[in-house]
Amino acid sequence: MTQLSTNQDFIDLENKVAAHNYSPLPVVVEHAEGIWVTDVEGRRYLDALSGYSALNFGHRHPALVQAAKDQLDRSTLTSRAFHNDQLGPFCAALSELVGKDMILPMNTGAEAVETALKIARKWGYLVKGVEADRAEIIVMDGNFHGRTTTIISFSDDPEARDHYGPYTQGFVSVPYGDLAAVEAAIHDNTVAVLVEPIQGEQGVKIPKEGFLPGLRELCTDRNVLMVADEIQAGLGRVGTTLACQYEGVEADVYTLGKALGGGIVPVSAVAADADVMGVITPGTHGSTFGGNPLAAAVGKAVCDLLASGEHQENARALEGQFRQALEALVGQGVEEVRVRGLWAGVDIDPGLLSGKEACKALAVKGVLAKDTHGSTIRLAPPLTITAEELKIVTDALAEVVAEARQG
Ligand SMILES: *Cc1c(COP(=O)(O)O)cnc(C)c1O
């Protein structure tokens, strides 16, 4: 094979031999550190996507890389057929961080959601007393919870769902943020409501104030589990450890992922109290890699970073600057912005630019971001970003829309 040296060489090879399930921007990353990535031709970009929040602490955070390196020299995989000396400390740290008795470790986000759905159903049958095979779970329109067959069964995104049937039964979808609709959908067989505290893939859609507290109350009243998918919204992104906490809400079950692996290895988990997690008994659920010592060591180091509170604090401190800079663009080529912590959805005027075109133009200016659903772009810089660096992001976007307006 001839030597690959340019961005285009790598793009051509990838297009030939890697399945086309993504349509990436034409940037080939070779090296990454902190908030910066460098492509194979030496161009540097500020990463304002952070791997969809998987890189909340930036690329190769020294404490996380150290934890991984140390563990690589000890043990990496034991299987759960044996105990390992990393799993207990990791689960203890995560339990403490999110305020739940017990942790079930998995690998990817979708697996954590699948696990939570199984736990909710089983809790429904064994604890709530729902009739066999009749459990129902309420989900939200516009949801994104991953890519498995069960999860896409209750997606309303045709791209994610079409041609993958037959679909898994037992889910009803209601409009996001509509408390009355949730209430109307609850009946005797309802075991859980699955909700993203903020819908990330949908373009950082923030529910109306009072929705999450209202949902909490409703779930308690009707003996239904509130399952919060914090995989993208949680672990510091909005300025609190969990996005539910921003609204003063505690869910019954949390799914966690993405940033839990520190951008190094896939680590996901379900967190719940013992009365719920207790339905899981030996042999009834598992994963070859879930809870492996390398993942646990990295996950524990992530929990330690979050326990200090400094990253949540930085997200809170920069929220005002972020919002102000983005709101200044509304009416100037931007239709609407939604900001919470260091997370923003920006709706570009579709007559001006598509989201993809805006992201391409941002990349030319050295900022990486990702479009979603047409003309929305999502900004989620690492929580380690400074005020000056954040200004690079918002200035670049201001230039992109100004230049598009000039034609
Ligand atoms: C990314 C994501 C998932 C799925 O995580 P994977 O690791 O890609 O399987 C689930 N829920 C939410 C809210 C997500 O953002």
pLDDT digits (tens, 9 = 90+) for 68-88: 999 999 999 999 999 999 999
Pull the structure tokens for residue 65: 């890389």
246 falls within a domain? yes
CA angle 310, 315, 317 (to 5 degrees): 90
Strand 268-272 relative to strand 102-106, pairing = antiparallel
Band of pLDDT at residue 216, cut at 50, 70 and 90:
very high
Q: Are residues 50 and 103 in the same domain?
A: no
pLDDT at position 21 over 70? yes
Atom nearest to 111 CA in ligand 1: 9
Q: Are residues 354 and 229 in the same domain?
A: no
Q: Cα of 388 to ligand 1 centre, how many Å?
A: 30
pLDDT digits (tens, 9 = 90+) for 219-274: 999 999 999 999 999 999 999 999 999 999 999 999 999 999 999 999 999 999 99
Q: Cα of 41 to ligand 1 centre, how many Å?
A: 31
Q: Whose CA is nearest to atom 5 of ligand 1?
A: 109
pLDDT at 373: 86
Using CB distances shorter than 6 Å, the residues near ligand 1 are 52, 108-110, 113, 144-146, 196, 200, 229, 231-232, 257-258
Q: Cα of 218 to ligand 1 centre, how many Å?
A: 26
CA angle 369, 374, 380 (to 5 degrees): 25
pLDDT at 1: 55
Average pLDDT (160-188) is 98
- Using CA atoms, how far residue 395 sits from 172, 326, 378, in Å, is 42, 9, 15
pLDDT at 62: 98
Q: Whose CA is nearest to atom 12 of ligand 1?
A: 145
391 falls within a domain? yes
Q: Whose CA is nearest to atom 6 of ligand 1?
A: 109
Q: Are residues 98 and 205 in the same domain?
A: yes
pLDDT at 75: 98
Mean pLDDT, the chain, whole residue set? 97
- Provide CB contacts within 8 A for 379, sequence distance 6+: 48, 49, 322, 326, 343, 344, 345, 346, 369, 393, 397
Q: Are residues 146 and 32 in the same domain?
A: no
Phi/psi for 312 (5° steps) reads -60, -40
Band of pLDDT at residue 323, cut at 50, 70 and 90:
very high
Q: Cα of 250 to ligand 1 centre, how many Å?
A: 20
Q: Which of 139, 232, 256 to mutate to test the pocket of ligand 1 (most atoms within 8 A of CB)?
A: 232
Q: Are residues 118 and 261 in the same domain?
A: yes
Q: Are residues 17 and 156 in the same domain?
A: no
pLDDT at 3: 87
Tell me the percentage of the chain whose pLDDT exceeds 70. Answer: 100
Q: Which of 152, 258, 264 to mutate to test the pocket of ligand 1 (most atoms within 8 A of CB)?
A: 258
1 falls within a domain? no
Average pLDDT (159-171) is 98
Atom nearest to 147 CA in ligand 1: 9
pLDDT at position 164 over 90? yes
360 falls within a domain? yes
302 falls within a domain? yes
Q: Are residues 171 and 267 in the same domain?
A: yes
Q: Are residues 315 and 371 in the same domain?
A: yes
Into how many domains does the chain fold?
2
76 falls within a domain? yes
- The last residue of one of the domains, among 254, 289, 307, is 307
Q: Are residues 335 and 402 in the same domain?
A: yes
Give the CATH number, domain containing residue 56. 3.90.1150.10
Strand order across the 225-229 sheet: 102-106, 268-272, 253-256, 225-229, 190-195, 136-140, 171-174
Q: Are residues 197 and 257 in the same domain?
A: yes
Q: What's the pTM value of the predicted model, to 2 decimals? A: 0.98
pLDDT digits (tens, 9 = 90+) for 179-211: 999 999 999 999 999 999 999 999 999 999 999
Show the domain range for 139. 62-307
pLDDT at position 2 over 80? no
Q: Cα of 392 to ligand 1 centre, how many Å?
A: 28
- The last residue of one of the domains, among 307, 341, 359, is 307
Q: Cα of 405 to ligand 1 centre, how many Å?
A: 35
Beta bridge partners of 344: 339, 379
Give the CATH number, domain containing residue 67. 3.40.640.10
Q: Are residues 221 and 360 in the same domain?
A: no
Q: Cα of 233 to ligand 1 centre, how many Å?
A: 10
Atom nearest to 151 CA in ligand 1: 10
2 falls within a domain? no
| DSSP letter (8 states) at residue 197 | S
77 falls within a domain? yes
Q: Cα of 258 to ligand 1 centre, how many Å?
A: 7
pLDDT digits (tens, 9 = 90+) for 266-275: 999 999 999 9
Phi-psi category of residue 291: left, alpha or beta, with phi > 0 → left and psi -120 to 50 → alpha: left
Atom nearest to 53 CA in ligand 1: 15
- The last residue of one of the domains, among 307, 327, 351, is 307
Atom nearest to 108 CA in ligand 1: 7
Positions marked catalytic: 144, 229, 258
Atom nearest to 113 CA in ligand 1: 10
pLDDT at position 18 over 80? yes
Q: Which of 140, 149, 231 to mutate to test the pocket of ligand 1 (most atoms within 8 A of CB)?
A: 231
Q: Are residues 50 and 67 in the same domain?
A: no
Q: Which of 113, 157, 198, 237 to mutate to test the pocket of ligand 1 (most atoms within 8 A of CB)?
A: 113
